[in-house]
Structure 1
């Protein structure tokens, strides 16, 4: 009997011991990344120091982080994209010239070869250069255009690889704050910076502030479950449609000249595919937000609102035209 008790004490005192090939883990042992824990701790500290309610603090944090980290990169990227588009127009104008030069060179070589054959009595020569086909001329012209474009981009310091810097900063920032808020809302979260009403009081007699103070921010909004998904989906869809319209706007359209689009072109098909995937992601995002905590949905909504205002401001200051 004593041996059984001693064995049970030994097992209970060492929860990570292997029992018959199995690994016993404590119930409360949950792996979490320290980065997300630091984000959660920072959010709690800001909430305690500022004294602001969560539904006001989270949008302010969103605007502050986006202004400090992503707005300078967005301005830099928009200026760079506009410069790239200006240089691309110059480079694309050289493609027909290169094609004409290659075609003229091929025609001159063929004429000289015929003249040589007539003089030598149709004797084959190994020094004759093979003539270029139209497909080969097009391919060589594209290679020349790309090499000139790369050279011009390098001279102007607007290389294409710099366009990846903004997503490399924006995506980790969005994921870190989202996961930090997700860690914060794993338990019941009621705003402590608001005055709480009497729990025995009828909810219909409460004012607006008292109703907000009684909300559990770790759960979706039960009173209006469609409100957060509707706001988030509307803002996300506005961003997608606005960016799609900007990317397809040409210089002639801004001057009042409407051109018939070519839906069968590769550029048009690629753009439509990207827009369709973005629209479907907005619908998926709405479904996720319907089950997400209210505080996390508030962060997503404020982030989409900031993106919309930022895009409108950038289009007004540095318009993009194809």
Structure 2
């Protein structure tokens, strides 16, 4: 879209015989538009009447069209700010350096980088998250016993001091929160610590996605070894990593993997609450929405998303292994099983096939 900015005071300056100057500059403020400058030169005295409007043949019109770049004082949007941020630039450097050091094609370099980051960063955090959840689950029995004892003490106090039912509930909730907080501190297992994985994994996912986008579109901050590096760095049906996957194989595979991960979590919940059901359905919707989104971005991004989801699925299955949980010293829970993979397959068949 072309925008034109006109001077506030526009007037015509005339001569008896010639037009001296037309309106001041019409300047463009958008890239790809032009600057229009209409002016003439003469040394004769002024006249109060414009000959340009009367069609006088003696005026001289000089038209100059000049290409101008964007001139704007507006700040970049939030998306551009994130795409040009320091973490994204550092991630670009990491991707380019890994590809240059290993000498692998770009598709293999993206796979290796994703696998290394997910294993070195998110797997330990996933183990820590599982330990916190197991400790919180183990405290539920103790919390239930203490809550029963607290309810009895509150009822005795209520009879002594004549408290109303509303006052009893207030004191019960207040003291129960204090007791639960003390238990969390004692076992060092506050539930908020279980969300540490999300606060690390999500920014890393965003930075890698935007870094691959910048490199694929040629707007990266790190020079590549070759201008056609990503354009020829694919394999199989996605030879050009700068273009979307026209076959939709990667996007559909991404959606199926994400749905499978969601169903594993859903099958693990023995008695899901309404909130857990809402969250599960929301994640299912996100998994489906990611399919058309992945079909419109460069193949380098959708390939990274697919590999990241596959690694996440492998980590989730690994954390179900009794031997691995024993090595990581994860406390046992009531949902543990000696044959978790058979149980997942049986539950999946019973829920979706039979």
**Normalised by the shorter chain, which TM-score bucket?**
0.5 to 0.7
- Using CA pairs below 8 Å that are at least 6 residues apart, which structure has the higher relative contact order? 1
- Cα distance in 2, alignment partners of residues 34 and 97 from structure 1: 54
Structure 1 residue runs without a partner (length 5+): 1-7, 12-21, 110-128, 195-208, 250-260, 262-266
**Residues 137/57 of structure 1: CA separation in 2 closer, same or farther (3 Å cut):** same
SS of aligned partner of 1:93: helix
Work out the number of aligned pairs and report it.
Answer: 246
- Relative to 1, partners in 2 of residues 1:182 and 1:321: Cα closer, same or farther, differing over 3 Å? farther
Assess, with a 3 A threshold, how the Cα gap between structure 1 residues 136 and 287 changes in structure 2: closer, same or farther: farther
Choose from 175, 179, 190 the match for 2:231.
Answer: 190
The separation in 2 between residues aligned to 1:35 and 1:132, in whole angstroms, is: 57
Deviates more, 1:29-38 or 1:52-61: 29-38
Choose between structure 1 and 2: higher helix proportion.
Answer: 1
Cα distance between partner residues in 2 of 1:93 and 1:139: 19
Aligned to 2:251: 229
Q: Does 1:48 align with 2:95?
A: no
Q: Which has the higher strand share?
A: 2
Q: TM-score, normalised by structure 2?
A: 0.62
Between structure 1 and structure 2, the one with the greater Rg is: 2
Displacement of 1:219 in angstroms is: 0.9
| Contact 1:36–1:176 (8 Å) recurs in 2 | yes
Is 1:24 aligned with 2:71? yes
Name the CA distance, whole Å, in 1 between partners of 2:310 and 2:113. Answer: 13
1:90 corresponds in structure 2 to 142
1:149 positional shift = 1.3
CA distance in 2, matches of 1:270, 1:73: 24
Q: CA deviation at 1:104?
A: 4.1
| Unaligned residue ranges in structure 2 (runs of 5+) | 1-24, 29-68, 219-227, 336-354
Query: Contact 1:220–1:290 at 8 Å: present in 2 too?
Result: yes
1:164 to 180, 195, 211: 195
In the alignment, which residue of structure 1 is the partner of 2:11? none
TM-score by length of 1: 0.67
1:238 aligns with 2:260: yes
Matches within 5 A, 1:102-117: 102-107=154-159, 109=160
